[in-house]
């Protein structure tokens, strides 16, 4: 039975650093947008109550959370990339293969070339 390796796939490669940085930037912008929303809600939502303090806490602590989330990359994720080198199966020696024909001597063609001699003048 012949053992085959899985085919190489470009989708098994890890995310490119440029794409990862773009995704982290988007997360930062979304978190900062929520912070601005908390600040606006804290000022304009009346009557003031306990939820005003929740909005204030969001406006104060979300920048820290946004920076931490933006700086955390996908370094901890294990890569599932397939090695581009494929393992070649070793040929089975003729004496190990059952019902094998006797080995045949290879045909060898030899070409002997001598340096060209200049005729004597």
pLDDT in tens, 71-116: 886 655 555 655 655 556 666 666 655 665 666 777 777 777 777 7
- What's the Cα-to-Cα distance from 56 to each of 41, 43, 64, 103, rounded to whole Å? 9, 9, 14, 86
- 49 and 42 in contact (C-beta within 8 Å)? no
Residue 29 within a domain: yes
pTM above 0.95, yes or no: no
* Tens digits of residue pLDDT in 2-46: 566 666 566 666 677 787 888 889 999 999 999 999 999 998 988
Helix and strand totals (H; E) in the chain? 2, 0
- 34 and 60 in contact (C-beta within 8 Å)? no
Alpha carbon 33 to chain centroid, angstroms: 31
What's the mean pLDDT when you consider all of the chain? 77
- What's the Cα-to-Cα distance from 80 to each of 10, 85, 113, rounded to whole Å? 11, 15, 55
Domain that holds residue 67: 16-71
Distance CA 67, CA 27 (A): 10
Residue 95 within a domain: no
Residue 91 within a domain: no
Distance CA 51, CA 61 (A): 15
Question: What is the count of structural domains for the chain?
Answer: 1
Residue 47 within a domain: yes
Residue 44 within a domain: yes
């Amino acid at each position: 039975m012949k053992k085959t390796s899985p085919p190489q796939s470009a989708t098994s490669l890890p995310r490119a650093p440029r794409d990862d940085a773009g995704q982290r930037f988007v997360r930062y912008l979304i978190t900062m947008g929520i912070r601005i929303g908390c600040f606006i809600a804290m000022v304009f939502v009346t009557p003031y109550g306990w939820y005003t303090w929740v909005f204030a806490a969001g406006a104060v602590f979300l920048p820290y959370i946004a920076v931490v989330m933006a700086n955390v990359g996908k370094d901890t994720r294990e890569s599932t990339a397939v090695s581009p080198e494929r393992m070649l199966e070793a040929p089975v020696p003729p004496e190990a293969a059952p019902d094998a024909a006797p080995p045949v001597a290879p045909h060898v063609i030899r070409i002997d070339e001598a340096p060209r001699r200049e005729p004597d003048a």
